[in-house]
């Protein structure tokens, strides 16, 4: 699985023209956050892939509310190449996580919701304090309510 993540990471940075706000440093933090939030029920492959693909097709760093939908559409193009090794259920979780991360607070799917919260816990990069009420998972709510503990854990 690490080889797939490495290929996806390379793919994500190829042709990236926006700044780091939604680029590699953000994607690496989303991956780290997702692994921290993951419980046994969470498919960490989806979380890791989401980290590097959810913003790949942004057209700007501001109000690009369609970038999640665009990402989901582009993932279909990768289905038979880079993502060919994923079973259908895993691929659909990844596609839904990318599609909905800007327009949905919670889905009830712990893997997708972990993706959402992993991204939301990195909102401080744009001067937004993560709101526990807007988190989708219990762990996400906990860390958003206890940011000093979250920052302590991620520095370890």
Q: Return all residues near 38 (Cβ < 8 A) that are at least 6 apart.
A: 44, 47, 114
- Total count of residues recorded for the chain: 156
Give domain 2-155's CATH superfamily. Hypothetical protein af1432 (1.10.3210.10)
User: Where does residue 108 fall: left (phi above 0), alpha (psi -120 to 50 degrees), or beta otherwise?
Assistant: left
**DSSP 8-state secondary structure symbol assigned to residue 55:** T
| 115 closest CA partner among 40, 19, 57, 36 | 36
- CA–CA separation, 108 vs 101, rounded Å? 13
Domain boundaries, the chain: 2-155
The one-digit pLDDT tens for each residue of the chain (156 residues) are 689 999 999 988 887 665 665 678 999 999 999 999 999 999 999 999 999 999 888 776 667 677 778 889 999 999 999 999 999 999 999 999 999 998 899 999 999 999 999 999 999 988 899 999 999 999 999 999 999 999 888 887
């Amino acid at each position: 699985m690490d080889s797939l993540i490495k290929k996806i990471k390379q793919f994500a940075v190829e042709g990236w023209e926006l700044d780091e706000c939604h680029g590699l440093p953000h994607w690496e933090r989303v991956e780290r956050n997702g692994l921290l939030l993951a419980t046994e029920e969470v498919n960490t492959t989806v979380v890791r892939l989401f980290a590097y693909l959810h913003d790949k097709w942004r057209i700007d760093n501001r109000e690009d509310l369609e970038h999640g939908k665009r990402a989901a559409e582009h993932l279909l193009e990768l289905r038979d190449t880079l993502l060919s090794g994923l079973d259908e259920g895993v691929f659909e979780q990844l596609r839904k996580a990318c599609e909905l991360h800007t327009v949905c607070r919670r889905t009830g799917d712990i893997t997708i919701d972990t993706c959402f919260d992993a991204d939301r816990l990195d909102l401080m990069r744009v001067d937004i304090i993560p709101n526990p009420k807007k988190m989708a998972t219990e762990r996400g709510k906990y860390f958003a309510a206890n940011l000093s503990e979250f920052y302590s854990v991620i520095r370890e």
